[in-house]
Structure 1
Amino acid sequence: MPLLHRTIKLVLATCVAINLANLIHLSSPTSAGIIAILSLLDTRRASLKTAWARLWSTILALAIASLAFSLFGFHLLTLGLYLCLYVPLAYKANLTAGIAPCTVLVTHLFLEQSTSLTLIGNELALFLIGAGIALIANLYMPSQDKQIQAYHEEVEQGLKAILLRFQDLLLTGDGRNEAQLITQLDQTLQKALEVVYLDRHNQVFHQTNYQVHYFEMRLAQNKMLRTMARNINKFSLESREAVILANLFDRTALQLSRHNPGHELLEDIELFHQAFRERPLPQTREEFEARATLFQLLHDIEAFIQLKVDFYEQYAYEN
């Protein structure tokens, strides 16, 4: 969430919560503002999950405190006893997010020297107002769609550049490949995944794994490209097979779009396998090693394309 949006939300949620608590004449209305601040998290899902946990934490805290104060009086040692009982139970029940705000509410009982239903209702109302206003404020989240689409374009252009670079290296056989484009694409993919993970956590009722799995698929493909880059660096012999494989890299680069299923490329690879099998056997050790490297590259590009095909078949309805 951008800092400006977060700041505006914090200010509005705090002021609205305190004002609402004042309007209905609750005691200690500023506590509603504090709870609103603590409940305003970076994503809708996190805010909703935390608010739900803190509700149960508040109920548990007020129940333990009421019992302790009723039995042992309003003493500092009793407040300590409450903490000794409440904190371990909160940890055991995975309600630790509520320890601080709930204890603030309990101190109101201690200061007022009362465990009346009216006062307990006041504390519950403070919590509900603070958490509720925070949830309402988080209904608005700036859309990440444009940024995600921009990453789609950047990633596909990055993959295309790498594949065309491989084509050039196979044709020239100069072995000068430092994988800089692959490293740059890795960085872009990590940034893209951060954005789509955040966007997914803002989808409470309508969730899809499409964007997450898309960029994870591209990350796996880029890892394969790094392996291919090392093999291409070993290759320096001009041959008919190298030209055929270079053409395959070119065709793959032109069909990278997520809207392209990639089935035709797999069919082409089968034809390349057949063409390679029909070629004369290598006559020298250098030719044999070059042929082995080319076969490995062919298998690698096949696995690269298969990842895309599997992804398309799973998410064809969202393309």
Structure 2
Amino acid sequence: MKIGLRTVKTAVAAPVALLLATGLNLESAASAAIITILTVTNTKRSTAKTALNRLFSLTLATAIAAVCFSLLGFHPLAFGLYLLLFIPLSIRFDLTEGIAVSSVLITHYLAASEISVSLIINEYLLMIIGVGCALTANLYMPDTEKKIQEDQMVVEVSMKKMLSQMSTYLNQPAKEELLRQECLSLRDFVRDAQIQAREYEENHFFSGNSYYFEYFAMRRLQLNVLSDMLKILNRLNAESEDVQELRELFEFTARTLAEENDGSDILTKIAETDQRYQQKKLPESREAFEERAMLFQLFQLFQDFIEIKAGFNRNK
């Protein structure tokens, strides 16, 4: 059984919240612990957002409850009316995370048959202690930047290897299918790395740097294009002289693919190769014409593959 860091934080922060609420002699002190459990998330930024939303939600809930209970008394029907108004308004103001927690706190007014100042203060203190302990627990987050950078290296080495193999396996459809499976596996790896990059970003309150997330998003787009290229290569059976220049392009890209490479040199080579192909005599047989059409489509996709990286470098 694996116990994650979030579980450990929750197991520590919830009893602390209960102790604080009990020490202050608050009514329904256990609610503070429950709020802590529901507020601890995987990142600092998401925990802070949840905490603020819950405070705003409690304010809205208290105002609606005060109106409903004053109209219908402290009756279950009044609580039903409160929910009828509170839930749609919470959705409207993007406070859905606070619906359950705030409604539990509102039941304390119902149980006490009053909405006094002291009871309102009690509910706010429960909320503040609960979200405060959750925020404090999430102040510590392990630094995952080194792992993310290692994932970048894995992706680049894998893509270089795939491009090199594409060059070697041209006109060998059976092996191209194996490469496609590798491409799909790498795409799953990049997706997981992108999730980790987003969590890394959200663990920095005042940093707007989304470089790692955008980097992996760029590589995912490239792998989607690469997958389409492999589908074509799996059907390609052109003449050796027709695929030689494509083979050289793949080899050149495999050697020069890197995080800092903007792809301009490769785009130049693609344009030159494409120009030479267009100047060639049109094939006479239908089969040769279809092979030439697939080669042209490959060039277009390969250009898209490189331009995705070039666009990323321009925007970073």
If the TM-score is normalised by the length of the shorter chain, which range does it land in?
0.7 to 0.9
CA 1:288–1:70: 2 relative to 1, 3 Å: closer
Distance 2:103 2:131 in 1: 15
Alpha-carbon offset, residue 252 of structure 1: 0.2
Q: Does 1:122 pair with 2:122?
A: yes
- After TM superposition, the score normalised by the length of structure 2 is 0.86
Q: Does 1:143 pair with 2:173?
A: no
Distance 2:58 2:115 in 1: 14
Deviation digits for residues 258-305 of structure 1 (CA, Å, limit 9, x no counterpart): 111221112222332344456566565555444443333233222211
Deviation digits for residues 29-57 of structure 1 (CA, Å, limit 9, x no counterpart): 22211111111122223222222222122
Alpha-carbon offset, residue 246 of structure 1: 0.7
Aligned to 2:173: 175
Gaps of 5+ in 1: none
Deviation digits for residues 191-210 of structure 1 (CA, Å, limit 9, x no counterpart): 22232233333343212332
Deviation digits for residues 165-221 of structure 1 (CA, Å, limit 9, x no counterpart): 221123xx3332212222222222222223223333334321233222222221221
Secondary structure in structure 2 of the residue aligned to 1:160:
helix
CA 1:245–1:143: 2 relative to 1, 3 Å: same
Q: Which amino acid aligns with 1:115?
A: I
Distance 1:281 1:113 in 2: 89
CA 1:160–1:125: 2 relative to 1, 3 Å: same
Number of paired residues? 312
Q: Does 1:273 pair with 2:274?
A: yes
RMSD over aligned CA atoms reads 2.6
Distance 1:79 1:296 in 2: 64
Aligned to 2:203: 202
Alpha-carbon offset, residue 10 of structure 1: 0.7
CA 1:166–1:19: 2 relative to 1, 3 Å: same
Alpha-carbon offset, residue 238 of structure 1: 3.7
Q: How does 1:179-198 map to 2 (within 5 A)?
A: 179-198=180-199
Aligned to 2:162: 162
Aligned to 1:310: 311
Q: Which runs of 4+ in 1 moved over 6 A?
A: none
Secondary structure in structure 1 of the residue aligned to 2:142:
coil
Aligned to 1:46: 46
Secondary structure in structure 2 of the residue aligned to 1:271:
helix
| Overall identity of the aligned pairs, in % | 39
Contact 2:64 2:85 in 1 (8 A): yes
Secondary structure in structure 2 of the residue aligned to 1:27:
coil
Q: Which amino acid aligns with 2:7?
A: T
Distance 1:113 1:207 in 2: 47
Q: Does 1:261 pair with 2:259?
A: no
Contact 1:105 1:123 in 2 (8 A): yes
Q: Does 1:11 pair with 2:27?
A: no
CA 1:275–1:97: 2 relative to 1, 3 Å: closer
- After TM superposition, the score normalised by the length of structure 1 is 0.85
Contact 2:201 2:207 in 1 (8 A): no
Secondary structure in structure 2 of the residue aligned to 1:115:
coil
Mean Cα deviation higher: 201-210 or 161-170: 201-210
Deviation digits for residues 89-119 of structure 1 (CA, Å, limit 9, x no counterpart): 4344333322322233223333334432122
CA 1:282–1:133: 2 relative to 1, 3 Å: same
Deviation digits for residues 214-254 of structure 1 (CA, Å, limit 9, x no counterpart): 22221221222222223323333443342222111001011
Q: How does 1:10-29 map to 2 (within 5 A)?
A: 10-29=10-29
Contact 1:70 1:115 in 2 (8 A): no
Contact 1:58 1:98 in 2 (8 A): yes
Distance 1:307 1:149 in 2: 20
Mean Cα deviation higher: 103-112 or 128-137: 103-112
Alpha-carbon offset, residue 313 of structure 1: 1.4
Gaps of 5+ in 2: none
Q: Which amino acid aligns with 2:110?
A: F
Distance 2:70 2:312 in 1: 62
Alpha-carbon offset, residue 6 of structure 1: 1.2
Distance 1:82 1:283 in 2: 78
Q: Which amino acid aligns with 1:44?
A: K
Distance 1:313 1:76 in 2: 61
Aligned to 2:112: 112
Mean Cα deviation higher: 268-277 or 175-184: 268-277
CA 1:184–1:75: 2 relative to 1, 3 Å: closer
Deviation digits for residues 145-167 of structure 1 (CA, Å, limit 9, x no counterpart): 23322321222122122211221
Deviation digits for residues 60-93 of structure 1 (CA, Å, limit 9, x no counterpart): 2223334444565544444444444434443443
